[in-house]
Structure 1
Amino acid sequence: MSEDKPKVQEIRQSEDRFLSSDIFESGRYTFPSRNGSGTVAEPARDVPIYHRCDVLVVGGGPAGTAAALAAARTGADVVVMERYNHLGGLSTGGVVIWIDRMTDWEGRKVIRGFADEIIERLPPEGVAGPDQTLWGVRDPELAKYWRLRTSAFHGIVTWAPTLDPERLKLASQELLIEAGVRIVFHSWAAVPVVQDGAVTGVIFESKEGRQALMANVVVDCTGDGDIFSRAGGAFETDIEEGDVHHSMNTGFMLAGVDMDTWLTFRGTQEEAFAEFTKLGRETLGFFQTPYVSWRNDVALFLGPRQSGLSALDVDDLTEVEVRSHRFMEAHCAFMRKHAPGFQNAWMMLSAPQIGVRHTRRLLGVSRIQRDQWSSGTIRPDEVGVSPSVSPKFPVLSVPYGALVPARLDGLLAAGRHISCDANSHGFMREIPQCWLTGQAAGAAAGLAANAGIKPRHVDPADIRAALRKQGAFVREAGSL
């Protein structure tokens, strides 16, 4: 691999991969290698307790927001801790405003509950997507139209809306406040408190210094398994370097564009578009074409995606940010010069949160695996239903065991780090699936705290009953 030019791999849409982008890796780093060595002794000290609660949700992203609301709806006293200044995680601060499919291939909405409630809180101008009458439609022209607008796959129109991130931040915040959840922003959970094999709280850092937040049940919604891994919970880290779902980047948005003009060009001038993308790669060395947003004058970029870097390495994280900001400027200049509808484009926003797709995955009581996709089996401990990756497969039953650590007590996991194999992770990490697993984990955590039992001992039937009260879609084993 040349030090002067990145190694680029184009990932095309397929049955199991529904994103299209260049993935690249480069041996070049902006800063020289660090030269630290040895250790420094940190003196022992007593840490003041900030608060005690029934359920502590660590991480206020999609899964964490859903978990906090679901736990509060069981009557539990709930705290959600978030290191940024907003809720929503990658769906807001990460500008992953395209919310992936929540319908099956017949147009039935299977990810509901929190997903419905949060989207219904947004004003009409904050949501872009096909009308419900079109979900499941297989008309070629309609599918082509909505595919360009990220809401049709495999020739089928789906419910995969694009949302205004600022409206989503506000709606998420207000939902939790109305439910009585205590929100703690600008705080980073550093170390779990573990007693007799159970997580009983976390030590966190903020501008107030180091404090502890104690809870009967902790829900790890960090996305990277920071809490369960540091508490001694088992996990997996295997990834596919060439898989778009296991790469990183910082998303960005360009404003002052005319997306209708761009989409007309992309959808009607195939040869010209192919030449355009070829020129982009030749000029930039890597390339990402835009996605639609919730507005015609704002374009969304979720790449180029970078492989060979770890979201658990601070130097790699820094490198991704440096490169991504450079990508934004280079893409803006290229699009202004060559892309129809982008002549007046300007750099609106680079995401405050880095776009991490994979780090750790929990080793749970059970897991979601690729060899389960075809069966359509309803798991006995089902707590949610996910759309499948293609019409070839039925919907997927999400088991409670995928949220429960194999041995560690006092904790549940929700979001992109649940127990699953690397292939299944490609879609179980998406925002609707994070809403689904977050709501399930929150409901279970609330039930466990209220009953004074370990999370692993909560009856899945009780979790399903609580989820149904909250509008979620779950089934019973043996039903179809």
Structure 2
Amino acid sequence: MLKRRDFLKAGAATALAPLPSLAADSPGQAGTVPEPKRELPLVQQTDVIVCGGGPAGFAAALSAARSGAKTTLIELHGCLGGVWTASLLSNIIDADGKTGLMQELMDRLSASDAQYTPTQYDAELMKWTLEQMCKEAGVEVRLHTRVTAAYRTKRNAIDYLVTESFSGREAWKAKVYIDATGNGDLAAQAGCGFDEGEPGTRRVQPMSLMVMLSGLREEDLVAEGYIKGPGRDGSPSETGKRKLHADILKAGVDASYSMPSFFVIRPDLVALMTNHQYGVSALDANAISRATVEARHEVNRIVEALRGRGGLWANLRIVTTAAQIGIREGRRIHGLYTLTKEDLVRGAQFDDGVCTVRFTVDIHSLVRGEGGGYGSGGVRMKPYQIPLRALIARDVTNLMLAGRCISGDFYAHASYRVTGNAVPMGEAAGKVAAKAALTHRLPKEVGWGEV
């Protein structure tokens, strides 16, 4: 084994060596190199570690800490909120009727003037609100940190995980782990089985890059029919989406998304979703990089073209594009139960149901030739429940799941993946993980009635 000083010398020497060039269309690896074995600093041993600080991870960490477990939340970006903040989603879907942390968060956002409509919010105030709630509960938050490996015991439990950050490569231990990364990164690193994409084809839903705009007035968007009404009624209308798409085409841009949507954040600040990046796997860094660059190019072209038409658009400017392109679909980790299309059709109810989903099956066109919009895939769902068993990993005993990486099929995922459901999923996972950690049990041994 290399001593630390020798490893640093070796690293410094290899850093000067020329690296093979990877073309933009590279299929992947240019070969392999050995990584020297080394001892890692163990940062922490705790009760519960949550990986991913988005809607599901925030809720999981908060509920675990409030349940008495010593809890650490590890997040890739420089803020909490994930798709809400780093991706600037700006809209909370399927939050109606949710109690617990979802309602508490909505009340808190409203009290702090972060929420302009019942579901549309100011991303900056969302960041601050989530951080303050975690701080008050005693959650230890580590930002700017990516999970890169996980190692199992002979009994198929995660022994420790490994991260990379400004502090280098570090190890972390917990009694129970929760994967709320969206893409199921921790579970995959730990060796869990998973599915991806449409059955048979593995085609995935497209990605979208959100953009914040200035130069538009809410009253004008209402008068022109792009949104339903001012203030609490400021959601996009179906006719408004079609009208905006027609305007973009008239401006000379062949838009990739045929149902673009405005979300009013303030009377003079508007969020816009106006692009689709098709055929991009959330497991392919090269593809996501290209998709992000292409998406940013498209939204800039759209804004520039609209501004050139004058009138309503004369002062239109991009304030910022999202730091993270919005990913609708990644890994679906195998759990103790897999939620299916048939469960949605029959409106399944479960003894261990942790969340009722009312959002439709929402499948955005998988290829551009399918129309560039969205549909239900022919599935007529009824309100249904997500069972706790779908939040417990099948292949690793001390791992739970929360958010869109839980165990479900392609069609079920297209319904439950929205953030109004991610929060109660996270809340449930956090409570069960805390109970399991504090009573020295596995998550599958904790009854939902206990928490």
Q: Same fold (TM over 0.5)?
A: yes
Query: Taking structure 1 as reference, are residues 276 and 61 closer, same or farther at Cα in structure 2, changes over 3 Å only?
Result: closer
**Residue matched to 1:204:** 163
Letter in 1 for 2:86: G
Structure 1: which 5+ runs fail to align? 1-29, 104-108, 131-160, 464-480
Question: SS state of the match for residue 346, structure 2?
Answer: coil
Query: Taking structure 1 as reference, are residues 382 and 271 closer, same or farther at Cα in structure 2, changes over 3 Å only?
Result: closer
Q: Distance in 2 between matches of 1:35 and 1:456?
A: 38
1:271, distance to aligned residue in structure 2 (A): 9.7
* Contact 1:325 1:350 survives alignment (8 Å): yes
* Contact 2:225 2:239 survives alignment (8 Å): no
**Residue matched to 2:146:** 188
Pick the aligned partner of 1:278 from 239, 246, 250. Answer: 246
1:377-392 equivalences in 2 (<5 Å)? 377-389=348-360
Instruction: Tell me whether 1:164 sits opposite 2:122 in the alignment.
Output: yes
1:307-326 equivalences in 2 (<5 Å)? 307-326=278-297
**Residue matched to 1:115:** 102
Which stretch has the larger CA shift, 70-79 or 234-243? 234-243
Q: Distance in 1 between matches of 2:395 and 2:153?
A: 14
Pick the aligned partner of 1:365 from 336, 348, 365. Answer: 336
* Contact 1:335 1:342 survives alignment (8 Å): yes
**Residue matched to 2:74:** 81
Which stretch has the larger CA shift, 253-262 or 84-93? 253-262
Aligned residues: 399
Question: SS state of the match for residue 373, structure 1?
Answer: helix
**Residue matched to 2:299:** 328
Instruction: Tell me whether 1:70 sits opposite 2:63 in the alignment.
Output: yes
1:302, distance to aligned residue in structure 2 (A): 2.1
1:85-104 equivalences in 2 (<5 Å)? 85-103=78-96
* Contact 1:281 1:287 survives alignment (8 Å): no
Instruction: Tell me whether 1:263 sits opposite 2:251 in the alignment.
Output: no
Question: SS state of the match for residue 46, structure 2?
Answer: strand
**Residue matched to 1:228:** 187
Q: Distance in 1 between matches of 2:317 and 2:443?
A: 49
* Contact 1:367 1:419 survives alignment (8 Å): yes
Query: Taking structure 1 as reference, are residues 276 and 365 closer, same or farther at Cα in structure 2, changes over 3 Å only?
Result: closer
| RMSD of aligned Cα (Å) | 2.8
Question: SS state of the match for residue 216, structure 1?
Answer: strand
Letter in 2 for 1:294: I
Query: Taking structure 1 as reference, are residues 330 and 413 closer, same or farther at Cα in structure 2, changes over 3 Å only?
Result: same
Q: Distance in 2 between matches of 1:322 and 1:253?
A: 17
Instruction: Tell me whether 1:424 sits opposite 2:392 in the alignment.
Output: no
* Contact 2:277 2:295 survives alignment (8 Å): no
Q: Distance in 1 between matches of 2:328 and 2:218?
A: 27
* Contact 1:200 1:217 survives alignment (8 Å): no
Post-superposition Cα deviations, 1:420-457, rounded to whole Å, max 9, x if no partner, equal: 11111112111111111111111110010011001111
Q: Distance in 1 between matches of 2:99 and 2:47?
A: 25
* Contact 1:252 1:350 survives alignment (8 Å): yes
* Contact 2:197 2:205 survives alignment (8 Å): no
**Residue matched to 1:158:** none
Q: Distance in 2 between matches of 1:41 and 1:261?
A: 60
Q: Distance in 2 between matches of 1:182 and 1:440?
A: 19
Instruction: Tell me whether 1:411 sits opposite 2:379 in the alignment.
Output: no
1:241, distance to aligned residue in structure 2 (A): 11
Query: Taking structure 1 as reference, are residues 443 and 259 closer, same or farther at Cα in structure 2, changes over 3 Å only?
Result: same
Q: Distance in 1 between matches of 2:240 and 2:336?
A: 52
* Contact 1:200 1:410 survives alignment (8 Å): no
Q: Distance in 2 between matches of 1:35 and 1:220?
A: 26
Instruction: Tell me whether 1:218 sits opposite 2:186 in the alignment.
Output: no
Q: Distance in 1 between matches of 2:142 and 2:124?
A: 19
**Residue matched to 1:348:** 319
Post-superposition Cα deviations, 1:90-127, rounded to whole Å, max 9, x if no partner, equal: 01111111111223xxxxx1x22111111222246321
What's the TM-score once normalised by structure 1's chain length?
0.77
Query: Taking structure 1 as reference, are residues 378 and 37 closer, same or farther at Cα in structure 2, changes over 3 Å only?
Result: same
Letter in 2 for 1:412: M
Letter in 2 for 1:235: F
* Contact 1:238 1:422 survives alignment (8 Å): yes
**Residue matched to 1:56:** 49
Q: Distance in 1 between matches of 2:406 and 2:283?
A: 17
**Residue matched to 1:3:** none
**Residue matched to 1:249:** 208
